[in-house]
Copies of this chain bind each other. A is one copy, B any other.
Amino acid sequence: MATSTSKVVDIHTHMYPPAYVELLESRKSIPFIRRFDGAKDPRYIILPSEAESLDKITAAGSSASANLPGRPVTSHYSSLAQKLHFMDTHGIDISVISLANPWLDFVASEEAGETAKSVNQEFSNMCASSPGRLFFFATLPLTAPPETLLAAIGHIRGLRYCRGVILGTSGLGKGLDDGALVPVFRALAANRLTIFLHPHYGLPSEVWGPRASAEYGHVLPLALGFPMETTIAVARMYLAGVFDAVPGLRMLLAHSGGTLPFLAGRIESCIVHDGHLVCSGKAGPARRTVWDVLREQIYLDAVIYSGVGLRAAIDAGGGEDRLMFGTDHPFFPPLNSDEQGEWESMTWNATAVSKALGDGSEGARKVMGGNAVGVLRLWEDS
């Protein structure tokens, strides 16, 4: 049981296995992958604004333009060798890999069970090929009927390197505060499977204003929309009483909880000052506060790119035991330097840990890997 705190673990790192890439290439609406004549890599189109600019390019017949929409699907997306190279380049001992958004949210109900099974098996095989260096968060077939969904949990609990599931915010179509999800949460908790909550849908595009897509790139939807989506999802779960209903539920929140550490105080103030919640008894003194849930059932990744944010994330959880380092690889590749070299997604986040906790300190070692090893049981015979 290697719980040594000197290991560096990346718990926020995505893979697109070849079968999933094929699935995305077969699609016509977002999300999809499109190949262009003259372009080195295919492009992955996720955002509505990207699909719109693709339509314009196609209409103008300028598909070989250097300014293609979306992001290049480089070998970093699906090559295990490339993942291991990234890990070696940055001194990462263990990666807990996961399928990236939007997972299987778009898969037809009757296919979702089989697709999930094959994707999860593929992740399992990847981990087995580098024993001890790779673990994974599995994918759930959320569009499938309830019995298929629960059967999928039965499948992944038996996979040796599986330590949880990556989950978006849509749930069964009505969000994560949907009572129909409670049996799913209970099954995950009973099997000690941590939920890695990750955004994908962001916010409605009108909030970015008329200049956004033409002038500001994807900064606003990615930098603000994603974290707010996560925050809304967790706040809704909290207000619906999900954390009380499933005390064994453990969630790891992407991007240091979105904005939850910063806004927890305001959420608490709004609860105790809300006439509706006070009258209905939901804001009573016996209530477990948002702070309680942050300290007892929530972990945060350290993908926040600043010491200021990381310090708040640490303080919100009552100490450095609930934070886990991550990189978000293969997203955000370096644009001005070699992709095979150092990535700022690593260096900014590692520097934030040093700034917040002291370079090489016991706290920094916990966040860089010790917490992940202990919480996710990152040893082979678990």
Contacts and interface: CB of A to CB of B under 8 A. Distances in A.
Contact of A215 (B239, B307, B336): B239
Contacts of A273: 332-335, 344-345
Interface in A320-350: 332-336, 344-345, 348
B263 A223 contact: yes
A316 interface: yes
Interface in A186-214: 203-204, 206-212
A276 interface: yes
A228 B223 CA distance: 11
A240 B215 contact: yes
Given A208-B236, A273-B333, A263 B215 contact: no
Interface string A155-177: 00000000000000000001101
Given A236-B209, A236-B211, A344-B272, A216 B265 contact: no
A204 B202 CA distance: 12
A214 B15 CA distance: 40
Number of copies: 2
Interface stretch (A86-94, A130-138, A254-262, A357-365): A254-262
A266 B211 contact: no
B240 A211 contact: yes
Contacts of A232: 207-209, 220, 224
Contacts of A272: 335, 344
Contact of A231 (B224, B266, B306): B224
B262 A239 contact: no
A219 interface: yes
Interface of A: 67, 71, 174-175, 177, 203-204, 206-212, 215-220, 222-224, 227-228, 231-232, 235-236, 239-240, 255-256, 259, 261-279, 304-309, 311-312, 315-316, 332-336, 344-345, 348, 352
25 contacts: A175-B209, A203-B204, A207-B232, A211-B240, A216-B277, A217-B275, A220-B239, A223-B235, A223-B263, A223-B267, A223-B271, A224-B263, A224-B267, A255-B266, A259-B259, A261-B309, A262-B262, A262-B308, A265-B308, A269-B305, A273-B345, A275-B335, A278-B336, A307-B315, A311-B312
